[in-house]
Structure 1
């Protein structure tokens, strides 16, 4: 049975997106070792899971990119959870409508090895957290304070730390599992 991993970038003050929606803050603390960790996480996934908003952004970007994330993003199967999308132009993409909890439970049972890597937009990540089906959180904390913005954790969630990796430019990757 596959595990469900949510990978997100987080500011020091707990935001995953600033109020203006910009993404430049994610560069704070970026380094070659942080990039390598992220590429490895993305490359080892059995499938990439996302909501329709993230799909639209990624499908417009990755097919024409040649950077280190391009190969795993383009070649590894993608599963998009949406009741509004009816077709996908990005190869290796399947659209799954309906109940998120039911669909994730089915996917976890269907995939024998590895992990399903969820790429968040805020709404999708919150929906996944609410299902209680996330087996591991991989949170990259960037050395930046956003002050305001969007959070994915809206209620208390007790976590057990399983690893911490400090990168040379100040970002830190924390891996947690939820406590029962």
Structure 2
């Protein structure tokens, strides 16, 4: 049985919206506020995570974002993302161009995710995909949450954790500094 890992870049106040500043959020681009040394350390940590992954699970918009930026990019990290099996929850994606992509019906994302979790082994990493991440947490399908915490407070924006029907206890299982100013925190869901 696979583990579902939610992996997010996040500000100190929990914002995950528009990290690269390509959206219409007036406080977007916070990802770019770190030093080159921190960005290099971040890339090494993310590459390490990709090497440990067995698959990626994405929503449609996150799939489009990743496929556009990573499909033709050179390098080991891009090669790893290309070779990983990718599963996309979507009713509109018809002909995925990124290699090794399977479209799962979004009409029943929970059933599709449960089946994927039972069928695969290893780690299924969910990058970005805020609505999907929230759904997985709400329905107790996520096993871990990994947060790369950026040293900024935005004071507004979409946050990773929204309302839930009940408390969602988590236990810190790893914490480390990445570069000079990033924190990489890993929480296991459940008591």
TM over 0.5: yes
**Which residue of structure 2 aligns with residue 24 of structure 1?**
29
1:102 aligns with 2:107: no
What secondary structure sits across from 2:71 in the alignment? helix
**Deviation at residue 122 of structure 1 after TM alignment:** 2.1
> Conserved in 1, the CA contact under 8 Å of 2:45 and 2:178?
no
Q: What's the CA shift for 1:73?
A: 1.2
Q: Which runs of 5+ in 2 are unaligned?
A: 19-23
Among 102, 114, 120, which residue is 1:111 paired with? 120
Aligned residues: 179
1:106-125 C-alpha deviation (Å, 9 max, x unpaired): 1111113x110111232222
TM-score by length of 1: 0.91
- The TM-score with structure 2 as length reference comes to 0.86
CA offsets 1:13-48 (integer angstroms, 9 cap, x no match):
111115707753123443433321111102221111
- Deviation of the 1:173 alpha carbon: 0.4
Structure 1, unmatched stretches of 5+, are none
How far is the alpha carbon of 1:69 from its aligned partner?
Answer: 2.6
Distance 1:176 1:120, change over 3 A: same
Deviation of 1:160 after TM superposition, in Å, equals 0.4
Alpha-carbon RMSD across the aligned residues, in angstroms, is: 1.9
